[in-house]
Amino acid sequence: MTRVLLLGGTSEASQLARELAARRVDAIFSYAGRTAAPLPQPLPTRTGGFGGSEGLARFLRAEAISHVVDATHPFAAQMSRNALAACAAAGVPLCAFERAPWTAGPGDDWRHVPDIPAAVAALPESPARVFLAIGRQTLAPFAARPQHHYLLRLVDPPAGPLPLPDVAVVIARGPFTRAADEALLAAHGIGLVVAKNAGGAGARAKLDAARALGLPVILIDRPALPPRRIARTVGEVLDFLAHRADLGV
């Protein structure tokens, strides 16, 4: 019997949830619980951590999960590592529904950096107006460069003080459009964009807007993960679900 655990938190996961629900696939959708009002899903939904890889392995057994689809954000590396370990321990096949990373095209002015500390180090010395499009969890390292004005875009209003001295916050949830992001960058006088190489369509708008405005981008590479089976399309996920025996990558 097919019973899927879909690890979510991305627009790709929501797209897949719609497809699975339409096909009446037995599936549970899982949210970490980071946002105050997560999008409702057309699948039975649970919220919150599992308690590490051991907790997830227990969940897989208790819920008789036959397949795990990891559709978390490419920077949610802890969850993805836990899912790999738990699936190995419980003998459940896993597939990542992962968007391809963005690649620069004509007119893009991107500087690739390996991680957040490298992005901080790549900032200019002279004060700049920076669109820091990295969410709210990894802001603190940027306090080492307090001379800059930072524009943040967050899903929820910050619950407490932010670790940056000169900051403006816009509350919005993607997907975004190039035209709207161009207007946002222009309205805030932004001169530099810092972003994670998330891939996907909805988050790409800020990079297209930066290109249109001739702005440089510091683009943070994805964290490395162990080898795993990857699906780029819903069809590839459905193929994976059709083959219970495939435990490989």
List residues near ligand NAP by CB under 6 A.
7-10, 30-32, 34, 49-52, 55-56, 72-73, 75-79, 82, 135, 137, 196
Q: In which residue are the tokens 């996920």 written?
A: 237
Residue 31 or 240 with smaller CB distance to ligand NAP: 31
CB of 20 to ligand NAP, least distance (A): 15
Backbone φ and ψ of 20, nearest 5°: -65, -40
CB of 131 to ligand NAP, least distance (A): 15
- Quote the strand ranges of 148-229, DSSP E: 149-154, 167-171, 192-196, 217-220
Q: How far apart are CA 119 and CA 100, in angstroms?
A: 21
Residue 100 or 186 with smaller CB distance to ligand NAP: 100
**236, 229 contact by CB (below 8 A):** no
113: which 2 tokens? 């950096």
What percent of the residues of the chain are helix, what percent strand, and what percent coil, each to the nearest 5? Answer: 30, 20, 50
Q: How far apart are CA 228 and CA 70, in angstroms?
A: 10
Residue 13 or 210 with smaller CB distance to ligand NAP: 13
CB of 139 to ligand NAP, least distance (A): 12
Find, among 37, 58, 39, the residue nearest to 49 by Cα.
58
Residue 96 or 190 with smaller CB distance to ligand NAP: 96
CB of 99 to ligand NAP, least distance (A): 12
CB of 189 to ligand NAP, least distance (A): 25
Residue 141 or 213 with smaller CB distance to ligand NAP: 141
CB of 201 to ligand NAP, least distance (A): 14
CB of 183 to ligand NAP, least distance (A): 23
Beta bridge partners of 112: 219
Residue 52 or 91 with smaller CB distance to ligand NAP: 52
- The residues, any chain, with a CB within 8 Å of residue 22's CB and separated by 6 or more, are none
End-to-end CA gap in the chain: 21
- The residues, any chain, with a CB within 8 Å of residue 140's CB and separated by 6 or more, are 163
Residue 41 or 72 with smaller CB distance to ligand NAP: 72
220: which 2 tokens? 């943070």
Find, among 235, 240, 231, 224, the residue nearest to 96 by Cα.
231
